[in-house]
Amino acid sequence: MAQAQALRSRSEVIWARDPMSHWVPAGALCLCLSILYQIYFYDFSNGVLIGGERQRLVLKIASVLILMFGARAYLSASALRFNLLLKLPLLFVCATLIVTAPFLEAYYAQALNLLFFLPLLLIDWNKPGAELLYRALWKAIVIVVAVQLLLDPLLKFYFQVTWSNAAVVGGMGNPNVFGIFLVCAGLAKAILFHGRWRLLAPLLFASTVLTGSLASALIGVGCLLVQGFSNLLRAPTRSLIFIGAAFVAVVLAANALLAINATSITHAINKLMSVIDFFSGGSAEAQSQSVSLRVDYTLAGLRMMGEAPLAVLFGHPGGKPMYSGDGMWIAMFVTYGLPLTLAFIVANVVAVLRGLRDGTRPMVFSACVLMVVLAFFVTNRILDYWPAALAYLLAFGYLTNRGAARMKQ
């Protein structure tokens, strides 16, 4: 045991001294998370980017290859066998994507983005130094997201290119995707990393309202409240002073943003009021298009399943290769059937519970990331959009690969 621990410590020191082990993965993530800055150089209209498809494909492949090159010392085919039962539903989904790819309409082809990050499941997080790599990857993500948050308004002002609701999107192109990375980066700063820049986590959580995405805003504000309550329990007096100052700052900032017509915030608020109106039985006219489209999409999927009873078991009603839209859970049910959807849910819930039960910071953090992604599934096909699957597969791979070996020990 002592010899193995000494070997681990020596490997971690070597890893820490190797500049390539830091800069290669960081550079890969910087490229990966910034590809969709293309919106400032091609025709873009409210979420639709026209042109640059070949460049995006080349950049996607290049960023993943560079990332895996940076992690080459930790790649192992045997790592895929760790907790294989938990990975089977995801692997089945990916296999189905490959088989149906030639028959997918352009609208559904975005689902193939998940396949780019599948090699992350080959990283053996139990090898000496691998945990340092995991922390380094998330540190790079935090830095890139924070820089993009500062850069986004400047680029909007310079290029005069924006979503109709002025959503903050960073280099992600999609408000929901930037929202999920804001939340994950905030969780990384709050759970994985301590010390300086303690206000960065609440800033990232609070910034989710600028995306105009209701899911992002609700999850981000929820994380902000949990963090505040946790700090209150640890240091009541200091936390009360901080909460009071933060409340005043938020009120002043909100008034300032509303004064300059922060349409992304009002867009999210209108969505929330529409959701409340829907569940309280209000009129359809009072609902925002975002809510009504999701209701119609869900009902259409359920109708298709009702017209093809066997599809409840196997999916693909009427031979439809894929059904995907604003809601990942209903999309999985219609496309893959109830058994696989339930298996996918169980696999992810088990992974989350293992992470929380483990108690170490990287495992708890990974479990929180997974819960955030699963929450996004309610209203969005989040894994279809580049590069959201990076956050999911990093966390899921760490929980299943790292967790397996820890239990064996």
pLDDT digits (tens, 9 = 90+) for 212-250: 888 888 899 888 888 877 766 666 665 566 566 556 655
Instruction: Look at residues 113, 195, 173, 178 and name the one whose alpha carbon lies nearest to residue 141.
Output: 178
| Distance between CA atoms of residues 296 and 326, nearest Å | 10
Kind plus residue range of the DSSP H or E element containing 49: strand 48-50
> Long-range contacts: 267-274, Cβ < 8 Å, 24+?
267/165, 267/167, 267/212, 268/209, 268/211, 268/212, 268/213, 268/214, 268/217, 271/214, 272/214, 272/217, 272/218
Whole-Å CA distances, 252 to 173, 214, 258: 29, 21, 10
Q: What token pair was written down for 349?
A: 């819930």
The whole-chain average pLDDT of the chain stands at 82
pTM for this predicted structure: 0.87
Of 28-37, 280-289, 310-319, 376-385, which gets the smallest average pLDDT? 280-289
Q: Which residue matches tokens 């996918």?
A: 344
Are 184 and 369 a contacting pair, CB within 8 Å? Answer: yes
My answer on whether omega of the bond before 119 falls inside 30° of 0, hence cis, is no
Tokens of 154: 């400047």
Contact 291, 272 (CB under 8 A): no
pLDDT at 43 over 70: yes
- Calpha distance 126→132 (Å, rounded): 11
C-alpha of 32 from chain center: 13
Q: Which residue has the higher pLDDT, 173 or 18?
A: 173
> Could you tell me which residues come within 8 angstroms of residue 287 by beta carbon, excluding any fewer than 6 positions away?
274, 277, 278, 295
